[in-house]
Chains A and B, each alone.
Chain A
Amino acid sequence: MRRRQLILGLGGASGALAFTLGLGWLQSRGRAQPPAALLPLPIGEMGFALTNHRGEPVRPADWIGRPTMAFFGFTWCPDVCPTTLSDISGWLDELGPDADRLNTVFITVDPERDTQQVLADYLANFDPRITGLTGSLAEVERAVAGFRARFEKVPRDGDYTMDHTAGVFLFRADGRFASIIDYHEDRRFALPKIRRVLT
């Protein structure tokens, strides 16, 4: 795990802000919960309509009843996405049949290049339990907003790349947000987090 040099929280800065803003609320309520505004919405409150890499329509309500592990990316990137997908394939391997109960979802932030066919070709290289989602830019934006994630198209060398939230989001079977696995987090911490939503 030499490459895991950094452990950066999702929105370290926004987390700090959330903490500051939330203090009064926490003190008045006396319960240790961050303010809901900056956390991903429960899946049941999300609204988007995307298509999976097999061409089937997907709505967030479809995920309720099973725990969900979801992350954003784009297949154009040669480093982050194969690494994340490879990590996730490794986690699914280690979880074995337990992972069959997970919705494991890769949502592209680059629907322009990541068509259904591209996602199908790409995902053929990874664990078959990973489902890829694409759709119109507007629907991708709705999904990203529901997760309180971010992405940005960045012009680069006559082409473009995408900056995007790199963490892996975990939700309980009832759709409530559980936790995030950060991009550089050691997998020793990742597996227990996944197991927690599986129980």
Chain B
Amino acid sequence: MKSLILSALLTLSATPVLACETFTLGDLTIEHAWSRATIGADRPGVFYVEITNNGSTDDALIGIATPAAGMPMLHETVVTDGIASMPHAMSIPVPAGQTVELAPGGYHGMLMGLTATLAEGDSFTVTLSFQNAGEVAVNVEVLSLRAEGPDCDDAN
């Protein structure tokens, strides 16, 4: 994946509502995939998404891959006794019948080793790997550094 050329990685999104696109993989629905702009390529980017398991079997997000970053990983922000830390998440449970959010202040994808600065309006692909359902590629929209999430009509 990393062999792809830069221009293929960060294509300008055709519409401003890319993050509102919905992807399905078996019983899983994946939506609201977004990221924040970075002030340089030498610092990590972030990846947020919402996963709904409509099936009757538990699943888990076990990894992410993207041509936009050399070392993408799953993290969780934890605040214990007022101290914020960011441990690795080996896997993120996606229980049957539930929606799991990678969202500000909780689980998130940390994109280390960005191939380029993420600018507002860019988009890139992230491939999500699930324990049972397999893999699915989603389009990720880069919002402003100040964004708290995509503005979708269906957002609750």
Query: Looking across the interface, which residue of chain A has its beta carbon closest to that of B84?
Result: A166
The complex places the Cα of A14 from the Cα of B82 at a distance, in Å, of 10
For this complex, 9 residue pairs linking A to B, each with C-beta atoms less than 8 Å apart, are A9-B82, A78-B36, A86-B147, A126-B146, A157-B71, A161-B86, A167-B82, A182-B79, A183-B105
B140 touches A (CB below 8 Å): no
Contacts of B154 in A (CB 8 A): none
Q: Report whether A11 and B81 are in contact in the complex, using a CB–CB cutoff of 8 Å.
A: yes
Q: Report whether A2 and B84 are in contact in the complex, using a CB–CB cutoff of 8 Å.
A: no
Min CB–CB distance B46 → chain A (angstroms)? 4
Q: Report whether A8 and B79 are in contact in the complex, using a CB–CB cutoff of 8 Å.
A: yes
The complex places the Cα of A122 from the Cα of B145 at a distance, in Å, of 9
The complex places the Cα of A2 from the Cα of B105 at a distance, in Å, of 10
Min CB–CB distance B100 → chain A (angstroms)? 11
Contacts of A179 in B (CB 8 A): none
The complex places the Cα of A86 from the Cα of B112 at a distance, in Å, of 22
Q: Report whether A163 and B146 are in contact in the complex, using a CB–CB cutoff of 8 Å.
A: no
Q: Which 9 A-B pairs have the closest CB atoms?
A: A10-B82, A78-B46, A166-B84, A125-B145, A83-B104, A163-B85, A3-B103, A121-B39, A78-B44
- Chain B contact residues, majority secondary structure: loop
Q: Report whether A184 and B44 are in contact in the complex, using a CB–CB cutoff of 8 Å.
A: no
Min CB–CB distance B16 → chain A (angstroms)? 18
Query: Looking across the interface, which residue of chain B has its beta carbon closest to that of A85?
Result: B146
Enumerate chain B interface residues (CB-CB to A < 8 A). Answer: 36-40, 43-46, 71, 73, 75, 77, 79-86, 101, 103-106, 108, 110-112, 144-148
Extra contacts, 19 of them, besides A2-B103, A12-B82, A163-B83 (Cβ < 8 A), are A8-B80, A8-B82, A76-B44, A77-B44, A78-B45, A82-B46, A82-B104, A83-B148, A90-B148, A122-B145, A126-B146, A150-B83, A157-B73, A161-B85, A161-B86, A163-B85, A180-B82, A182-B79, A182-B82
The complex places the Cα of A157 from the Cα of B72 at a distance, in Å, of 11
A154 touches B (CB below 8 Å): yes
Q: Report whether A166 and B146 are in contact in the complex, using a CB–CB cutoff of 8 Å.
A: no
Query: Looking across the interface, which residue of chain B has its beta carbon closest to that of A122?
Result: B39
Q: Report whether A82 and B146 are in contact in the complex, using a CB–CB cutoff of 8 Å.
A: yes
Q: A77-B86, A78-B108 are in contact. Are A14 and B146 (CB under 8 A)?
A: no
Q: A3-B103, A78-B46 are in contact. Are A125 and B39 (CB under 8 A)?
A: yes
Bin chain A's interface residue count: 35 or more
Mask, A153-195, CB within 8 Å of B = 1, is 0100101010111110000000000001011100000000000
Min CB–CB distance B76 → chain A (angstroms)? 9
Q: Which of A13, A79, A118, A121 contacts B108 (CB 8 A)?
A: A79
The complex places the Cα of A150 from the Cα of B83 at a distance, in Å, of 7
Q: A2-B101, A183-B105 are in contact. Are A125 and B144 (CB under 8 A)?
A: yes
Interface set, chain A 43-80, CB cutoff 8 A to B: 75-80
The complex places the Cα of A9 from the Cα of B83 at a distance, in Å, of 10
A36 touches B (CB below 8 Å): no
Interface set, chain A 76-127, CB cutoff 8 A to B: 76-80, 82-83, 85-86, 89-90, 118, 121-122, 125-126
Q: Report whether A183 and B147 are in contact in the complex, using a CB–CB cutoff of 8 Å.
A: no
Q: A76-B43, A78-B45, A125-B145 are in contact. Are A83 and B81 (CB under 8 A)?
A: no
Contacts of B144 in A (CB 8 A): 125
Q: A86-B148, A183-B105 are in contact. Are A80 and B83 (CB under 8 A)?
A: no
